[in-house]
Structure 1
């Protein structure tokens, strides 16, 4: 989320004066003395944050629901300390709680943080010139806090995004009611699922048990809805806390991965008595607060580190519900002891699923009829293959990360070529036609300077698959045919404990004999002429905040999308950590979204980089007629 300019944070718009709250005097909410003649006197007793310090008296004067807000979960975060206190002891809890307060308590909010300004966690500041909104702004308020997991899942920064937004334009408050947000959390509340007012799928989908869907009748009250209807989601590991040289508190997660695990419900209650649920790994670590007290969690094993989760990336149809046997009998989908770190095995005994507890495969299932025969398997290489072929002649390894990341450690022999920063790959962002692929002569010269020949086997990796895919899309346009992405990227390489170097290799410049494939590029005029052509499918691969017009993007800050375009965020093809899902799953997902190999597919994004990555991936999956809208949204004038 882009930070607000200083004046944006405090500027009160003229429109505010015409609003209901604008009819009140400043002192009615903020205190102070409106009879004083000078600034100092006027601000005597002034409260800049009345909804934090005294919501019952300020907000509650008109809004009776404010009476319970100070005890709500959004204000108190009351269930979180309970989890930590269980793991601590009487002797360690005081120091652990001090660490929690410094590092983990900045997310709580207030009436103002949901209805007029950004929350404290995201830097505060008015969302719209002090104008109050009855419904919180999903971008500037809800996901300003709930961003790294909920927001990224919901909008498609991880996965395809959520069907409730894509198909029905539903926002947070459609499921999470005002009653839930304002409800006082009872003392000793175990977790947020125990809150009586908490959202439940059955609030809308009331006929699950008796409806027309056979699988609902079979699985109702046995399997959490998200088990069948979620996509993969991020899991965080080994959070550690401390302070930097300036004494500023920080926390850092040592590892994240995108995946999905089904396990036993650790928290069976009457309204949520499922046997199987989706589990997410939480970042708690047995050494989380060692900066404050060593061995602060002597009772670490009393609570699992794999917790029940509700990923906000729901799809009506998912890979695991496409076929019974995509779930039944799938050992990798169910949490196993082998998925656990040594220090957390005992803590998760109650949620892991043994081999004989996995639902068995069904004898008869409907075939999915996925044709993967055209998948170009050579476009993906494994870390094992690369480790064995590091010294191959005519192998060029390109690291597509930022220079600072490359310098911190890279695969031996890899050349740093960041497609987002290297001149000579795309035009200047302020040129007449910004951020389009460079002229052939310039592009060939740049690639040659980096020791790349058109006949080399070029393997590209990054931390995010999208960055590697972007560079591969440019290479594909330039005519390179023997190109591959490293499955899992640098993360998989490091986790396998393969050698990492901090030395930049020597290389000789080459002549890159460019064979530009201009047939891969289309301009805006082509799209405008084919908006109503049923044989051409325009696919918008941006995150849905942008394609739905909720936010802009730097140079491409105009809201909206190309009329009729299919919203399919690029992370639906790349997992967050550069791992790729199976070709069969990707082909099935694309088919479900009616993006089919027999169509002309035109991919577009903000500035061309994600679209180039999508073009590479679709070609890998065997799509023959894929075109890149190189001018992209930044140049769209339709």
Structure 2
């Protein structure tokens, strides 16, 4: 199974005994939208709802930090997401949050994980079937194996600020990167990590919400000033859209990318970290 699958492919695979479809929609605080309510209203047949706001490290004051292995395994088992299954993740969010679920599943050891190209938006535009409500789920066994090598923390990022050997790439909208627009979370300053590049995650998508591919995708990184030959750290507001940049790099065959899990929610609220404003 490819990392990116089409709506046509998924429509042909629905009902396969080893296939699990996952709705990983999430929204920014204050958006006025409720991902779980929207899932229960309509979703791809057979999909389960992966609550990215709840599958977190509840001991951390930061949003969306990776949970402990035991908690992740417990949540996956409750959702019927077990070892050996093929997972297809989609969303219906401007944050393209399926990429975060894809990254989390892979980071905890899942082998067969794909993102649905175009998400629910494209699925609906094509008139494909939907269902509503919640569903009975048969528990499955998930064996977590957390790969810490793909996760960057505050100390790691602090050590590569202004490094010519690395790239730090920020997925937030440009006005938040420059500090012109306030952050959606209280207590978080505006601006960006010094030396980082601004690549809003929306730049990786075509007008129909499908992923850019090949030269068009590569050009999005290059136009942002990102040197793809260097190891990269992806960051954003809370580690969700950073996964979009990481998945985009993956589509280009680039795997030397870490995700800064604390992202700007951590960096921007820490008085000891250096901060920059304006364009990069």
Q: TM-score, normalised by structure 1?
A: 0.39
- Supply the RMSD in Å over aligned alpha carbons: 2.0
Over residues 492-513 of structure 1, what are the superposed CA-to-partner deviations in whole Å (9 max), with x where a residue is unaligned?
2222222211143332111211
User: Which one of the candidate residues 130, 141, 163 is aligned to 1:533?
Assistant: 163
Aligned length: 258
SS in 2 for 1:378: coil
User: Which one of the candidate residues 75, 81, 106 is aligned to 1:446?
Assistant: 75
Q: Is the 8 A contact 2:41 2:133 kept in 1?
A: no
Distance verdict in 2 for CA 1:435–1:494, change over 3 Å: closer
Q: Is the 8 A contact 2:62 2:265 kept in 1?
A: no
SS in 1 for 2:265: helix
User: Which one of the candidate residues 149, 154, 176 is aligned to 1:546?
Assistant: 176
Cα separation, 1, equivalents of 2:233 and 2:130: 38
Q: Is the 8 A contact 1:454 1:514 kept in 2?
A: no
1:221-300 → structure 2 map (5 Å cutoff) = none
Cα separation, 2, equivalents of 1:416 and 1:523: 28
Q: Does the alignment pair 1:437 with 2:66?
A: yes
**Structure 1 residue ranges, 4+ long, deviating more than 6 angstroms after superposition:** none
Cα separation, 2, equivalents of 1:623 and 1:556: 34
In the TM superposition, residue 432 of structure 1 has moved relative to its aligned partner by 4.3
Q: Does the alignment pair 1:585 with 2:224?
A: no
1:296-445 → structure 2 map (5 Å cutoff) = 378-401=2-25, 402-419=35-52, 421=53, 423=54, 425-428=55-58, 431-445=60-74
Question: Higher relative contact order at CA 8 Å, sep ≥6: structure 1 or structure 2?
Answer: 2
Q: TM-score, normalised by structure 2?
A: 0.85
SS in 2 for 1:485: strand
User: Which one of the candidate residues 258, 261, 266 is aligned to 1:635?
Assistant: 266
In the TM superposition, residue 433 of structure 1 has moved relative to its aligned partner by 4.8
Q: Is the 8 A contact 2:167 2:231 kept in 1?
A: yes
SS in 2 for 1:609: coil
SS in 2 for 1:398: strand
User: Which one of the candidate residues 465, 473, 487 is aligned to 2:103?
Assistant: 473
User: Which one of the candidate residues 225, 234, 246 is aligned to 1:603?
Assistant: 234
Cα separation, 2, equivalents of 1:581 and 1:433: 31
Tell me which residue corresponds to 2:125: 495
Cα separation, 1, equivalents of 2:217 and 2:96: 15
Q: Is the 8 A contact 1:451 1:508 kept in 2?
A: yes
**Structure 1: 5+ residue stretches without partners:** 1-376
Q: Is the 8 A contact 1:466 1:574 kept in 2?
A: no
Q: Does the alignment pair 1:486 with 2:116?
A: yes
Name the structure with the higher helix share.
1
Distance verdict in 2 for CA 1:554–1:500, change over 3 Å: same
SS in 1 for 2:2: helix
In the TM superposition, residue 409 of structure 1 has moved relative to its aligned partner by 1.5
Cα separation, 1, equivalents of 2:207 and 2:135: 28
Tell me which residue corresponds to 1:524: 154
Distance verdict in 2 for CA 1:586–1:556, change over 3 Å: farther
Tell me which residue corresponds to 1:626: 257
Distance verdict in 2 for CA 1:427–1:556, change over 3 Å: farther
Cα separation, 1, equivalents of 2:252 and 2:139: 32
